[in-house]
Amino acid sequence: MKYNPHEYQVFATEYILQNPISAILLDMGLGKSVITLTAVFDLTLDSFQIRKVLVIAPLRVARDTWPAEIEKWDHLQGLKYSVAIGNERERKAALLQKVQVYLINRENVEWLVQKSGLPFDYDMVVVDELPSFKSHQSKRFKSLMKVRPLVKRMVGLTGTPSTNGLMDLWAEYRLLDMGHRLGRFIGQYRSAFFVPDKRNGQVVFSYKPKPGADEAIYRLISDITISMKNTDYLKLPELVMNEVRVKMSPIEEKHYRTMKDEMVLSLKGREIDAANAAALSGKLLQMANGAVYDESHGVAHLHDRKLEALEDLVEAANGKPILIAYWFKHDLERILERFPAERLDSAHSIKRWNDGEISVAVIHPASAGHGLNLQAGGSALVWFSLTWSLELYQQTNARLWRQGQKNTVVIHHIIAEGTIDEQVMKALRQKDKTQTALIDAVKAALKEDCV
């Protein structure tokens, strides 16, 4: 795919190239990965300033997202990567390959530095989700700090560097600049910018910032930090569409194909069948989501691929509000089992959302009607369940992407590869005007293999 970057993406890539240490604070879906990879390509294959790049990320992000980004964009052709995930033998084999980019999950940082027996000879390190290193007492932080002096370039990526307060920033920036800006010791940082808050005698349970501490801290880190809050490269509110793709296992794909081809399936002792194309589309949408109703309205579980992707998005948000759109009741039940989410189904819950009291909310598109204002509560929407209804799709998106929204709105679509999800997204992109047209568009596709 041809890369046509936004102005802010060009700016951010150039910033990484010009600054050996950089913190890139961009919201989810704004392209932190491709921004960084564009810089990596330049540094490794154009200017030859860097030989080996280590990318540290959450497990599924390291395994799936970064490889997908490298393979997706035309301008990154020639950039070779290796994914160091799996058992110890597989990780070592991956790290011994001759490539430019090595991807590893953050849980294996301690192993890499202290137990692998391999030299730490990476001259550039990228930490995707920098708050993963906010604890200066964690093993991953201590391990990476041991080899930090060997690294020529550091990049920290996140959209939410300090959701638990300014105290988080010390470890994150200590890792980036080795204490140059916020001090080498947490006690030094704490005494400079904080005072005891909750305490019992001499025992201090928490600290609060001194007056003006936030401005002082931001000023200290401003020379190596960019964020969407202090750049004007997007005309707000801008709408950014993002696709998060998941893949079923071979056995899960086999169940899906059986249902699609034969319109009947026995799944874990439950019988599922569809009388016509419209019913079949509903069953396939459910299976793409991970569960499906049987004939007695019981629920047969198929997979958790979308829930895992949703977990990554929630974690990446790091406390910033996320609105999740669901369609089927069993989707809602599984989401609520997995996350401390709240339903936006009353005036009270909507007010709490807009007041910033809810970090993860769920909503049904049919209840996200005209005139419902949710833009004050957040700017990120995740479509866990896709819908054929263009009207409901557009109206739900418009709850956040509307007048009065102060931030870039990011709409995430979790798409199960090789399923009807891809047909729905294609139909929505084509902007057919009625639900009937959308259903008609997929009927022929149901007779063929999904791309």
pLDDT of amino acid 160: 67
What secondary structure does DSSP assign to 421-439, as a single string? Answer: HHHHHHHHHTT-SSHHHHH
Question: According to the model, what pLDDT value does residue 61 have?
Answer: 85
Q: Please report the pLDDT score of residue 292 as a whole number.
A: 95
Domains of the chain: 7-230 (3.40.50.10810), 235-451 (3.40.50.300)
SS3 320: coil
Supply the pLDDT for residue 345: 83
The dihedral built from the CA positions of residue 73, 75, 80 and 83, taken in this order, carries a sign that is negative
Residue 144 burial (CB < 10 Å; 0-12/13-18/19+)? Answer: buried
How high is the pLDDT of residue 369?
53
pLDDT at 406: 84
Angle between helices 435-446 and 277-289 (to 10 degrees): 80
Q: How far apart are CA 48 and CA 62, in angstroms?
A: 24
The span from the CA of 342 to the CA of 47, in Å, is 50
Percentages of the chain per state (helix, strand, coil), in multiples of 5: 45, 20, 35
At 164 the three-state DSSP class reads coil
Residue 427 identity? A
CB 371 within 8 A of CB 402: no
- Cis-peptide, bond into residue 237, ω within 30° of zero: yes
Q: What are phi and psi of 286, to 5 degrees?
A: -65, -45
The reply to whether the predicted model has a pTM over 0.75 is no
E strand spans, 3-108? 21-25, 53-57, 81-83, 101-105
Residues near 352 by beta carbon (within 8 Å), at least 6 away in sequence: 342, 358
CA distance 322 to 160: 13
pLDDT score, position 158: 85
Give the pLDDT confidence score for residue 90 in this predicted structure. 96
- Give the phi and the psi of residue 37 in degrees, each rounded to 5: -65, -35
Residues of the chain short of pLDDT 50, as ranges, are: 229-234, 370-371, 432-451
pLDDT at res. 208? 86
Q: Which amino acid is at 23?
A: A
